[in-house]
A and B are shown apart, each in its own frame.
Chain A
């Protein structure tokens, strides 16, 4: 149906309460415009992620089972934006479908509905679509495992130029940057470098951890590799919101005192508005 209100359960995951707060702000703002209702799963717990499955399988399963029990209280599909939480929960329930936010927006909402809300086409900028690894792997996957298209498609509907980007589903190293900078910096530098090589103005990503590595650690990566990367990173929903005419503040790009990004997005936002 054309403009029907869509409804989903929403599983945030721990990063949405901390480093990815801007992401959650932009998701809620964009979903409001699109007419999608989100109901947060009540009293959810940490998905356990890699640390639990690497050390204690029983506890890892217990954390997953508790969350599955909570989501099965409703029959609505669950939307998840954190790649790690998505990976841990996606095959957990036979009653309720656990789906990634890109899947929901690309396939349930669809191009036409998105296009209707675009007030400021992103035609002035070029955006490298960086999915990260666990968005599309392992199976089951809602998109191609190495050359996904869902975010490419969304960005194109918004009017942006989307270059070919071979590293779109490579790994940023996850938490490795916090623990061992040298190998992680190599991975992150490749991702940043390829986007710059393709003359992208910025990188869009759907993953909280990838965003942190690419933005918050861009300086540290430069120090470790001797390179000079300088490219701003957006959550893809922030770009959607900018094209819908929403303000940087509503989209979590501007915090109380400072921009929330370490590599400033101000120039790209100006370029989108045609001011620079």
Chain B
């Protein structure tokens, strides 16, 4: 039987977190604490009530789930011990999995570039990451960041040669995941 998005969310976050989120009392403490709460299409409070109201797809398509900066003030202050930041990570994964992520937001593209180079080298590679990201999303910026990039290089803050993990290959990630 096909899983509903709600069932999938429950599996992603675990039943304890899921139950807490379904019992959100809508006090708005998280919304008031969110550093970007005023400018986003949804606050953490609204995300939780939309899920409760059966509008999870609307949340998966939102910009808000990508703009969460993971500052954890919402989790720290929630009177019910809710974990909006963790729920938002799960919502991001679901949005990616179902192809519903907001195409106007560039953050998923940035994450994809980051992931690409860690899969390749086992470590982050900033020159590759930034070139890959800007060439895909904003070619003008790929040129305009050059002065700053050169400055970083001259200041000794970025190396052109990628750092690598010994005996690393993308298969390691898959192997570890399978060994769970």
Residues of A near any B CB (own CB < 8 A):
14-15, 17-19, 21-22, 43-46, 48-59, 61-63, 65-66, 133-134, 137-139, 145-146, 170-171, 173-176, 178-180, 183, 187, 216, 255-260, 262
Contact = CB atoms under 8 A, between A and B. Distances in A.
Interface string B149-180: 00110111111000101111000111111001
Contact of B166 (A43, A49, A134, A139): A43
B73 A137 contact: yes
Contacts of A22: 157
B123 A175 contact: no
Contact of A137 (B12, B76, B156, B157): B76
Contact of A14 (B110, B111, B123, B154): B123
B1 interface: no
A258 B110 contact: no
B155 A258 contact: yes
A171 B119 CA distance: 28
Contact of B157 (A19, A46, A58, A145): A19
Most chain B Cβ neighbours within 10 Å, of A54, A134, A173, A180: A54
A45 B168 contact: yes
Nearest to A262: B151
Contact of B107 (A44, A137, A146, A179): A179
Contact of B110 (A51, A57, A134, A260): A51
Nearest to A173: B69
Given A55-B92, A61-B180, A18 B159 contact: yes
9 closest A-B pairs by CB: A62-B176, A171-B71, A14-B124, A51-B111, A137-B72, A51-B114, A133-B71, A58-B177, A54-B92
Interface string B99-122: 000000011101110110011001
Contacts of A43: 165-167
B93 interface: yes
A36 B112 CA distance: 39
Nearest to A65: B176
B176 A55 contact: no
A46 B118 contact: yes
B67 A46 contact: no
Contacts of B180: 58, 61-62, 65
Interface in B10-50: 12, 35-36, 39
Given A19-B158, A46-B124, A138 B85 contact: yes
B35 A187 contact: yes
Contacts of A45: 118, 122-123, 165, 168
Given A14-B123, A14-B124, A45-B165, A62 B110 contact: no
22 contacts: A14-B124, A17-B123, A17-B159, A18-B159, A21-B157, A43-B166, A43-B167, A45-B122, A48-B118, A51-B114, A54-B92, A54-B93, A58-B180, A59-B119, A133-B72, A139-B76, A146-B76, A170-B35, A175-B110, A183-B39, A187-B36, A258-B155
B132 interface: no
A246 B113 CA distance: 39
Most chain A Cβ neighbours within 10 Å, of B92, B158, B176: B176
B70 interface: yes
A18 B163 CA distance: 10
